[in-house]
Every structure is written in structure tokens, then in C-alpha cells.
């Protein structure tokens, strides 16, 4: 039984990404122009998340608010970075990525999508289940 638990533990450690003590999470809230939320969701689903991965950004989750009004124009997500310094580097590289520039331009051929972005960097509390 002990060997099975040890094996399961080693397997879980191999699957989970390494988590440094200075890892930071970023909570981002996008407010879209009227009628543009579906375009934003498609851009994330079809392109952005993969580009994030290439630049070292780890997607934690993506949400649309339950509130009827906010659900029409708001996307909220959390990504993780190894450190705050790496986060700044990741965003610079992301914005300079030729594929991102093309995807962004193509997705906005019918007009701008995002009217406002709020970003908050966070570190887990000592009692947080995610670190």
C-alpha cells in the first residue's frame, strides 16, 4: 500500500507544474463594447490561450459573471506567472508576438472588442489551497 501511495505521489508531482515561492497570480477583468463578448471569447478560445502558453503564462480559469448585466460584456480570468518580474516580461513578449498582432487585428475587423481591462497581481495567502 505504501508503494502505491508513493507512486501516486510521484506521478502527481510529475504532472503538476513546479510552483516557486514567488509565483504570482493575475486576475484580469475585461469589459467589452456592446455585443462584442462573443468575439472576445472566441479569440481566447481559438488563439490567445495557446499564445499565453508559449510565453510562460499558465491559465488557471476563465469566467463570465452570473449578474445579468455584467454577463453581457465581461470576461474574468486568472493566469499564473513564476514571479512578478516574469509577468512583466511575459506581457511584453506577448504584445510583441507577431501571431498575437495578427489575431488581434483580424478579430477587430468589425470594431474594437475591449473597452477596459483591470489587472490585479496577487500572491496566495498561507491558507490558500492553490499556491
Mean per-residue pLDDT of the chain: 89
Q: Which of 14, 128, 19 is nearest to 81 (CA)?
A: 19
The pLDDT-based confidence of 55 (bands split at 50, 70, 90) is very high
Which pLDDT does position 131 carry in this prediction? Answer: 85
The pLDDT-based confidence of 56 (bands split at 50, 70, 90) is very high
Mention the CATH class of domain 21-122.
Answer: alpha beta
The pLDDT-based confidence of 6 (bands split at 50, 70, 90) is very low
Helix, strand or coil, per DSSP, at residue 48 = helix
Please determine, for residue 80, whether its predicted confidence score (pLDDT) is greater than 60: yes
Q: Which helix (H) or strand (E) holds 63?
A: strand 58-63
Domain spans of the chain, in order of start: 21-122
Q: What does the pLDDT look like over 10-53, one tens digit per residue?
A: 433 344 454 567 899 999 999 999 999 999 999 999 999 999 99
Amino acid at each position: 500500500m505504501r508503494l502505491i501511495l508513493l507512486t501516486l505521489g510521484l506521478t502527481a508531482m510529475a504532472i503538476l507544474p513546479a510552483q516557486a515561492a514567488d509565483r504570482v497570480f493575475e486576475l484580469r477583468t475585461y469589459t467589452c463594447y456592446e455585443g462584442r463578448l462573443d468575439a472576445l471569447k472566441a479569440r481566447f478560445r481559438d488563439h490567445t490561450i495557446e499564445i499565453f502558453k508559449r510565453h510562460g503564462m499558465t491559465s488557471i480559469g476563465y469566467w463570465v459573471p452570473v449578474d445579468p448585466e455584467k454577463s453581457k460584456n465581461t470576461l474574468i480570468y486568472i493566469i499564473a506567472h513564476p514571479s512578478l518580474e516574469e509577468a512583466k516580461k511575459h506581457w511584453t513578449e506577448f504584445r510583441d508576438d507577431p501571431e498575437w498582432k495578427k489575431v488581434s487585428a483580424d478579430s477587430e475587423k468589425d470594431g474594437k472588442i475591449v473597452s477596459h481591462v483591470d489587472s490585479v497581481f496577487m500572491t496566495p495567502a498561507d491558507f490558500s489551497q492553490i499556491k
